[in-house]
Structure 1
Amino acid sequence: MLTVPVRLRPSWFIAAAAARRHHATSCLVFHITNQKRTPSPTLAAARPISGSTKNKMPPFPTPNEEPPAHGMVYFPDMTTALPSESGEFRRVLWTGLYSQVVLMTVPVGGDIGEEVHTVDQILTFTSGTGLAQVGGEERHIKAGDMVVVPAGTKHQFLNTGPNPLILYTVYSPAEHKATTVHKTKEEGDKAEEEGRDEPPIWSQRSKQENEEDRPVG
């Protein structure tokens, strides 16, 4: 008997292929199934003791204000150990030459705000439920989902659940000031209107400029 090997495709590959078949060009949603993991000692120590009524933010490193050094930046358990609640609407975690990592918490009944920007954005949801509105398309989202918003696409994300909607997002290139921390959406909107939340100039340079000025190390 001739045995033919069967190549199994991972779930994310099948989801992406299905999206291509349906010509989903405005919004890509990936459902990510996380395996149960043991929280790292660093984040475990930062979580509240039994009986605490409010989780605390994990001890993220101070964000860089200058072009990043050639080295690793490590954020353990980003999809499994983020707090279920925080008091900050937006916190920039890291800014690179071509991208920026930002943590966001959308309160119950709140939203990110309808907007269009000229950078790509990838949002990974770690807690809560909500509604994604991207390029005229709507999808319900939950912890474990990832949404891609291409540059120039109108989008909005709303918290439709009973708990805060928590996510981390990657902009490419950077969209915010490297040290931005906004307690509320209103604070963020005001900073943007007043021109106090602009990305660093060095994060907007071309690849050619960076290759000429920054040798690989």
Structure 2
Amino acid sequence: MSIDDIGPRPQAFDLETETLDNSNYRTVVWSGSHLQVTLMSIPVGGDIGLERHPDTDQFIRLDRGRGRAQMGPAKDELTFDHEVSDGWCVLVPAGSWHNVTNVGEEPMQVYTVYAPQHHKPGKVHQTQATAAADTDDEPAEWSVQPHPVADQHA
């Protein structure tokens, strides 16, 4: 990984190459005042994790692999169910329960854009388990947040 999250300063890099080269569950690569870019690698049979961001719209793009995108108004009511693959995007409205599961035969490489910022700038989680256990992964104090509302995870 050759990118450093430099905060809300101008940045340019080859997003597709970095996404494909990322081996971490999640790597935060750029944190602006109003949005954030992360790279994710989801192992075969793994998933991003069923969650809901009350005040965060999210854009997810697959650069490798096949996934099953599910969304809905409740964690037990995922009314949107669509298979996605390389080149596809998943658009998650704020307040929607959502998950993307790797249904392919290789790691699923994705990048995500959150608005507003969602993770600590520069944060790297090698696995989903380390991400879930991390108690120091809050957006930067200088980021613009609508109001303090906790995300929900299933």
Same fold (TM > 0.5):
yes
**TM-score under structure 1 length normalisation:** 0.60
Decide whether aligned partners of structure 1 residues 137 and 181 sit closer, same or farther in structure 2, where only a CA change above 3 A counts.
same
Match of 2:81 in 1: 138
2:19, 2:33 → 1: CA distance?
28
Q: CA deviation at 1:205?
A: 5.0
Decide whether aligned partners of structure 1 residues 162 and 173 sit closer, same or farther in structure 2, where only a CA change above 3 A counts.
same
Q: Which structure shows the bigger proportion of residues in helix conformation?
A: 1
CA deviation profile, 1:44-91 (whole Å, cap 9, x unmatched): xxxxxxxxxxxxx4x22x1125xx23xx31112x23x34646431000
1:101, 1:87 → 2: CA distance?
16
RMSD: 1.6
Contact 1:116 1:153 in 2 (8 A): yes
Match of 2:141 among 175, 194, 201: 201
CA deviation profile, 1:113-166 (whole Å, cap 9, x unmatched): 100012010011100001000122100010100111011100011000000001
Match of 1:64 in 2: 6
1:175 to 2:118 alignment: yes
Q: CA deviation at 1:111?
A: 0.5
The size of the alignment, in residue pairs, is 139
Decide whether aligned partners of structure 1 residues 142 and 205 sit closer, same or farther in structure 2, where only a CA change above 3 A counts.
closer
Name stretches of at least 5 consecutive residues in structure 1 with no aligned partner.
1-56, 207-217
**TM-score under structure 2 length normalisation:** 0.84
Q: Which structure shows the bigger proportion of residues in strand conformation?
A: 2
Name stretches of at least 5 consecutive residues in structure 2 with no aligned partner.
73-78, 147-154
Contact 2:50 2:99 in 1 (8 A): yes
Q: Percent identity?
A: 37
Contact 2:19 2:110 in 1 (8 A): no
Match of 1:8 in 2: none
- What SS class does the counterpart of residue 51 from structure 2 fall into? coil
- What SS class does the counterpart of residue 73 from structure 1 fall into? coil
Q: Aligned letter for 1:204?
A: V
1:73 to 2:11 alignment: yes
Contact 2:121 2:139 in 1 (8 A): yes
- What SS class does the counterpart of residue 133 from structure 2 fall into? helix
Match of 1:165 in 2: 108
- Counting only pairs closer than 5 Å after superposition, residues 1-217 of structure 1 correspond to structure 2 as 57=1, 59-60=2-3, 62-65=4-7, 68-69=8-9, 72-76=10-14, 78-79=15-16, 81-82=17-18, 84=20, 86-117=22-53, 118-135=55-72, 136-191=79-134, 194=135, 196-205=136-145
1:94, 1:205 → 2: CA distance?
16
Specify the structure having the higher radius of gyration (Cα): 1
